[in-house]
A and B are shown apart, each in its own frame.
Chain A
């Protein structure tokens, strides 16, 4: 059959219209005969070209490749890839908001072209060049006037409920998406939202009333015989506009931080000279190894991530602080920093593999390795605040990437003193020598440079046996 080394994508099984498969490390999408009519309309209506030209939908080419399941196959497509697959529980508030607005904008364009989104999953949106893009070409169905939006429930669960909770209750509640993979159940969202959200027309209808309709009519299934007028197209457009309007109105700004100079506040312990020197060392390391991809772990607002992204290196900037990631993302948008993707991540409990068979959404390390990992002003948080032994840190970084740019922050550093102020020092091995001894079994040290005005040292390491 010539299908050696091919594998159906483990997350691609719900929609009978087609599926993704890998063959010889290339990703393809099989379109099934059952989707032929929709696929033809997507092209003939001009919707495909319009969305691709706007950058709202990934481009694909039709390829002459043997289908994975020939009996079902209509066509095989080769989609353009996004650099890094991220998930809604890793997005900051504005990333989820932009993904939601993009989904609605696509649905508006689809309706104007006689089609409609048949799903509105947040997992169908990815970030490419700092902008949200739909990656599922088979998400469109033929629009039948009178028909309500089949993906309305999903849209409210995947987008509106988490955004409302983040804006009105607590920004950390987007982490519920890690537990509820098909979005936050609306009855739960309704219970968690503050009472004042019932005074907001959009939230009161699309979440609170919606939730009560769902519970009241959960098992209704009466039969009718005549065609129903149902929901007119203006009414459906009104529904989409209402969702757009309520989402547009949701805002989140971090409390307790000066929005404008967030970075200055959190990095105040560096002198200007030290900060400049640190940047120079990192840039020299990057020029030396010329990586094709980078992760900045503990990136804060991405000051040093930009050393990589400015060089055209696709860079993911992870931080645990939703406020820092939010500011980083807004800066990326404002400056059109297309090589940088900021994401929220708790390194002490990184994103797990979740979903059916634990294979639908990848863990962090399943998305590794990258060419270079930056771990700047990070190690003391993991080793001292979180008690991870240095050798385990080395083992983790070894899995994450080939090259490692890591900053050792010794105990005499003021930031480590802050961490040790409230606890017993149970870290006798946390010394520069102990650090080198722990990392040497896993990495070859190519370079180490002390940062002026500090007790810190930057290392360039390469993982062994690569």
Chain B
């Protein structure tokens, strides 16, 4: 199954011809993490919506790339 998905992705990539080698292992681990992290983001989104409902929502996280 893993190889099947990877094969598709490599096919997908080879059509787009990235100039960097993304490395097969680096694609695969992203797929492994995808489920986990995608679920995390969804949860966070819903949680912040729930908080907003109760007027306790935070502003969007700053993402100016500078820590502190």
Give A contacts to B, CB under 8 Å.
14-17, 54, 56, 94, 97-98, 101-106, 108-109, 118-119, 131-132, 141, 144, 146-154, 156, 205, 209-210, 212-228, 230-232, 234-239, 241-242, 244, 248, 333
Number of interface residues of B (CB under 8 A): 42
Interchain nearest-CB distance for B58 vs A (Å): 15
* 3 nearest A-B residue pairs (beta carbon): A238-B37, A235-B38, A102-B65
- The secondary structure that dominates the B interface is helix
In the complex, which residues of chain A have a beta carbon less than 8 angstroms from the beta carbon of B32? 209, 213
In the complex, which residues of chain A have a beta carbon less than 8 angstroms from the beta carbon of B19? 14-17, 118-119
In the complex, which residues of chain B have a beta carbon less than 8 angstroms from the beta carbon of A154? 20
Please name 24 pairs of A and B residues whose Cβ atoms are closer than 8 Å in the assembled complex, sorted by A.
Answer: A56-B65, A101-B65, A104-B63, A141-B18, A148-B27, A148-B30, A148-B31, A150-B13, A150-B18, A153-B22, A213-B28, A215-B25, A217-B24, A218-B23, A218-B24, A220-B6, A222-B3, A223-B10, A224-B8, A228-B9, A230-B12, A235-B34, A237-B41, A238-B34
Interchain nearest-CB distance for A50 vs B (Å): 12
| Complex Cα spacing A97 to B68, Å | 11
In the complex, which residues of chain B have a beta carbon less than 8 angstroms from the beta carbon of A144? 16
Closest to A144 in B: B16
Inter-chain contact B30/A231, CB cutoff 8 Å:
yes
B26 CB-CB contact with A under 8 Å: yes
In the complex, which residues of chain A have a beta carbon less than 8 angstroms from the beta carbon of B18? 118, 141, 150
B29 CB-CB contact with A under 8 Å: yes
Inter-chain contact B29/A213, CB cutoff 8 Å:
yes
Closest to B4 in A: A224
B53 CB-CB contact with A under 8 Å: no
| Complex Cα spacing A94 to B65, Å | 12
| Complex Cα spacing A144 to B23, Å | 18
Inter-chain contact A54/B64, CB cutoff 8 Å:
yes
Inter-chain contact A98/B66, CB cutoff 8 Å:
yes
Closest to A152 in B: B26
Partner of A217 from B4, B6, B35 at Cβ < 8 Å? B6
Inter-chain contact A148/B20, CB cutoff 8 Å:
no
| Complex Cα spacing A236 to B63, Å | 16
| Complex Cα spacing A224 to B37, Å | 25
In the complex, which residues of chain A have a beta carbon less than 8 angstroms from the beta carbon of B35? 235
Q: Which of B14-68 contact A (CB under 8 A)?
A: 16, 18-42, 63-67
